[in-house]
Amino acid sequence: MSVVFDKYVIEEETYLKAMILSRGIEFSEKAIQVSIFEKAKGQNLVYNMPLNTTNSRPQELIVINSKDSYLVVVSCVASNPTTTPVYLDADENHKLIAFIDNKKLDNIEIYFVKEPKYYSETITNGENVKKYVSACGLDELNIIPWKGCAISKGCRFCGINNFVNKEDLSAHKISKDKNQWYKVCNQYLDNLEEAVSIAKKSDCYKEHAHVILIAGNLDNNSLDFETAVFAQITERIKPLVSDISEEGVVVVITPPQNMELIYDLKEAGVGKVVFNLEAITETGFEKYCPGKADLGYRFFTDRLKCAIDVFGKRNVWTNLVFGLESKDNVLEKCALLIKDGVVISANVLHFDKGNSLDCDVPTTEDVVDFFYKLEVLNCQEGFFPFYCAKALRTSLSNEAHDMRIKEIKN
């Protein structure tokens, strides 16, 4: 039995995901015991961490529809104080059960996403593989070459600089002195190659992997250098991952100042480029992404359009944080940019440590309606959603595309 919700019929796994993303989730003591026993993946503490939680909080859940085995992964986002969060408990057989407004949700199986095997493995020099590679969702293979973000002013939803230690190779250090990168880059690339070779054998990448090269920005004057480094890393790892990567190497980056350098990413073998706007209205962009706004709204949109000439349609993406701006304004802007050839997806806004936001998490109704309508827009241009429903843990793009949300026609 699917769930009738607002103007839509939603399959149970997608309904639960939408509920968790908009209301957040809390765990019973029994559920936490199961997570410890099953070695659930904890918070990565690289980019973010839900507000008011610890790093032992399970990071993600797998939700499977019992009728047709459709599987999604959802992030265990912090509970939203304005609503009743989803409650995760475990029964006497240690099976996880979800309650929404005290009512058990049927027809689903729930599991914690476990730590990939490589999280406990090391490379030859004794360092953890995880220092070089980590997993987001079930099957993202993330490569994050440095810590922190040196953008002129941080985006207001982002807490990335809370996780930088003094000894880390950080965006700030490299921005100040490029030698900080040159000094380590050969060793880094050798170690990364070894780490990727170990990680790719993990079960979580058995079907495929989404290989994503991502990091916080270098400062505004070092963006061309950032592109050069990402091209250099891509050249080295592309041959290693070509047998498992679904999209080739995906590079998530603030574009270079010099648009010509976008060709260097293509030449290095990048499969898709992602220049994230985060907020798509000019006012939202200025308010919530003041550092990106220092570069300029047009800086991003011009380079997105230029990248389409280089990479072709379907290969240039931008991601938004849904909830920063009003749904209708966002959809209006999305329609224009999608028509220009940019594929758009979004994460549902959630509160992480270090944010300085003044807005609420969007309602479940808005979340469902937004992703349904965004899919209609992308679909008109023949665009597919990013990655897959097992990777995109804070978005319903794939679920909408896979028709897990259907509009009730009058």
Per CB under 6 A, 216 contacts ligand SF4: yes
Interface with ligand SF4 (CB under 6 A), residue from 97, 160, 388, 391: 160
Which C-beta is closer to ligand SF4: that of 14 or that of 222? 222
Per CB under 6 A, 256 contacts ligand SF4: no
Which C-beta is closer to ligand SF4: that of 151 or that of 304? 151
Shortest gap between Cβ of 148 and ligand SF4 (angstroms)?
A: 8
Shortest gap between Cβ of 229 and ligand SF4 (angstroms)?
A: 15
Interface with ligand SF4 (CB under 6 A), residue from 44, 80, 217, 245: 217
Which residues, 6 or more positions from 79, have their beta carbon under 8 angstroms from its beta carbon? Answer: 23, 24, 25, 26, 85
Shortest gap between Cβ of 157 and ligand SF4 (angstroms)?
A: 7
* CB neighbourhood size of 219 (10 A): 18
Strands of the sheet containing 103-104, edge to edge, are 25-27, 86-90, 96-100, 103-104
Q: Report the C-alpha gap between 365 and 19 in whole angstroms.
A: 9
H or E segment to which residue 98 belongs: strand 96-100
Which C-beta is closer to ligand SF4: that of 216 or that of 362? 216
Which residues, 6 or more positions from 342, have their beta carbon under 8 angstroms from its beta carbon? Answer: 304, 305, 308, 316, 317, 318
Q: Report the C-alpha gap between 87 and 101 in whole angstroms.
A: 8
Please give the structure tokens belonging to residue 70: 């459709």
Task: Tell me the one-letter amino acid at 102.
Answer: N
Per CB under 6 A, 154 contacts ligand SF4: yes
Task: Tell me the one-letter amino acid at 150.
Answer: A
Per CB under 6 A, 149 contacts ligand SF4: yes
Shortest gap between Cβ of 206 and ligand SF4 (angstroms)?
A: 30
Which C-beta is closer to ligand SF4: that of 31 or that of 46? 46
Q: Report the C-alpha gap between 73 and 79 in whole angstroms.
A: 17
Per CB under 6 A, 155 contacts ligand SF4: yes
Shortest gap between Cβ of 151 and ligand SF4 (angstroms)?
A: 5
Q: Which stretch binds ligand SF4 (CB under 6 A): 5-13, 99-107, 147-155, 364-372?
A: 147-155
Per CB under 6 A, 385 contacts ligand SF4: no
Which C-beta is closer to ligand SF4: that of 63 or that of 149? 149
Dump the DSSP string for 328-376: HHHHHHHHHHHHTT-EEEEEEP--BTT----SPPPPHHHHHHHHHHHHH
The answer to whether 32 and 53 are in contact (CB under 8 A) is no
* CB neighbourhood size of 170 (10 A): 22
Cα Dmax for the chain: 65
Interface with ligand SF4 (CB under 6 A), residue from 90, 98, 100, 151: 151
Interface with ligand SF4 (CB under 6 A), residue from 158, 273, 338, 389: 158
Which C-beta is closer to ligand SF4: that of 156 or that of 373? 156
Per CB under 6 A, 280 contacts ligand SF4: no
Shortest gap between Cβ of 223 and ligand SF4 (angstroms)?
A: 11
Quote the DSSP letter at residue 403.
T
Which C-beta is closer to ligand SF4: that of 24 or that of 154? 154
The answer to whether 248 and 269 are in contact (CB under 8 A) is yes
Shortest gap between Cβ of 155 and ligand SF4 (angstroms)?
A: 3
Per CB under 6 A, 324 contacts ligand SF4: no
Q: Which stretch binds ligand SF4 (CB under 6 A): 68-76, 154-162, 184-192, 311-319?
A: 154-162
Would you give the binding string for ligand SF4 spanning residues 90-129, x where CB under 6 A is met? Answer: ----------------------------------------
How far CA 192 is from CA of 10, 132, 207, in Å, comes to: 41, 6, 22
| Beta-bridge partners for 274 | 252, 317
Shortest gap between Cβ of 184 and ligand SF4 (angstroms)?
A: 21
Q: Which spans of this chain sit near ligand SF4 (rule: CB under 6 A)?
A: 149, 151, 154-155, 158, 160, 216-217
